[in-house]
Amino acid sequence: MELVEAIILSVLAASTPLLIAATGELVTEHSGVLNLGVEGMMIVGAACGFAGAWLTGSIFIGALFGIVAGTLMSLIFALMALGLAVNQVATGLALTILGVGLSGLIGAGFVGERIAPAVHLAIPGLTDIPLIGRVLFGEDAFVYFSIALIIGVWWFLYRTRAGLILRACGDNHVSAHALGYPVLRIRTFAVMFGGACAGLAGAYLPLAYTPFFIPGMTAGRGWIALALVVFSSWRPGRLVVGAYLFGAVTILQLHAQGWGVGIPSQFMSALPYLATVIVLVLLSRARTGGSTAPAALGTVFVPDR
């Protein structure tokens, strides 16, 4: 029983950064922008998040540092891809390359330092309920926030006028522009939201997942988040399912090592990446009847005045 509970708890913890980063990218892509720099924004968020928490002793301020860092990174992307109409794929790659360097530079002074990780919720009575108590009422604040975030995003995209306009920009920027909507401004906000989420997701790693910072600690999670958006067919509900599935695969490989399965640890560690490839192939194959991606995704838009 306790093992099951421990596994569920660790799956939730492993899924949360994926869910937060993928939610941000979902909004960005719905506006028609493909930001491949998620990994770069995440890794800078991790370094700045840890720095913030270490300097102030507050996990909350650490998380804010992560959000601000991710947003600033995304502004560089917005300036390039939206302001200067540079190819989005190349700009996203550049953002990741820059992010890895910046993260190493910012984090260099903090390697080996430790902080007290984010506390878990504890409600006397409720949290003590066997099995479900800790799973439902004993998580850290990030886990609850990630669920609130995806519900909020679903509501925004499909239940508000602003969400409809944002999706219109992603499906047909020319029409949206003709109707008088400021396509580039809307996209900039969507990119910034994606950056904020990626920064927070990165900050989650040293603030709650492990209590220390190591260079390169995102280990491709930003790229997996990008794949999750494809996996979800750009739908928030499926994004949650996908994030938890991937979290489960990540934890599975950790536990398989503990159970003494006779497979070298490196092969188990490769599982999440291989799973991503397989999922991408299966999903793309299933979707032969026409893509569900926003129609204008990744295309450059220069308003013709």
Partner 1 sequence: MQLVLEKRAERSNTIALVSPLIAIGLTIVTMVILFAILGKNPLLALHAYFIAPLTDGYSLQEIAVKATPLVMIAIGLSLCYLANAWNIGAEGQFLIGAVAGSWIAVKTQGTDVGAWVLPVMLVLAAAAGALYALIPAICKVKFGASEILTSLMLVYVADLFLDYLVRGPWRDPHGFNFPTTAEFDPVATVPLLIEGGRLHLGSIIALLVVAAAAILLGRTIKGFEIRVVGAAPRAARFGGFNANQLIILTFAVSGALAGLAGIIEVAGPVGHLQPGISPGYGFTAIIVAFLGRLNPLGILIAGLFLALTFIGGEQAQIAMKIPLDVTKVFQGILLFYVLACDSLILYRFRLVFPNRQVTRGAG
Binding site for partner 1 (CB under 8 A): 36, 76, 80, 83-87, 89-91, 93-95, 97-102, 104-105, 108, 219-220, 223-224, 226-227, 230, 264, 266-267, 269-270, 273-274, 276-277, 280-281, 283-285, 287-288, 291, 302, 305
Rounded distance between C-alpha atoms, residue 47 and residue 217, angstroms: 9
Rank residues 95 and 201 by Cβ distance to partner 1 and give the closer one.
95
What does the alpha-carbon distance between residue 37 and residue 18 come to, in Å, rounded to a whole number? 14
In angstroms, give the least distance from the CB of 44 to partner 1: 11
Distance from the first to the final alpha carbon of the chain = 65
User: Closest separation between CB of residue 219 and partner 1, Å?
Assistant: 8
Decide: 212 and 54 in contact? Cβ < 8 Å.
no
Residue 234's CB: how many other CB atoms inside 10 A?
20
Nearer to partner 1 among residue 138 and residue 206 (C-beta): 206
| Cβ closest to partner 1, residue 164 vs residue 274 | 274
- Minimum gap (Å) between residue 266 Cβ and partner 1: 4
Q: Which is nearer to partner 1, 39 or 139 (CB)?
A: 39
Least Cβ distance, residue 202 to partner 1 (angstroms) = 16
CA dist 244 and 8 (Å) reads 10
Dist. CA 205–CA 66, nearest whole Å? 11
CB of 29 to partner 1, least distance (A): 12
The three-class DSSP label of residue 277 is: helix
Lookup: tokens for 183: 């396509």
Q: Cα-flanking dihedrals φ and ψ of residue 117, to 5°?
A: -70, 165
Minimum gap (Å) between residue 291 Cβ and partner 1: 8
CB of 187 to partner 1, least distance (A): 14
Cα separation, 29 vs 299, in Å, equals 11
Cβ proximity to partner 1, 114 vs 287, nearer residue: 287
DSSP state, 209? I
- Judged by beta carbon, residue 159 or residue 285, the one nearer partner 1 is 285
- Do 47 and 103 meet the contact criterion of CB atoms below 8 Å apart? yes
Cα distance between residue 10 and residue 256, in whole Å: 14
Whole-angstrom Cα distance, residue 202 to residue 224? Answer: 13
Shorter beta-carbon distance to partner 1: residue 45 or 138: 45
Look at residue 182 and give its three-state secondary structure: coil
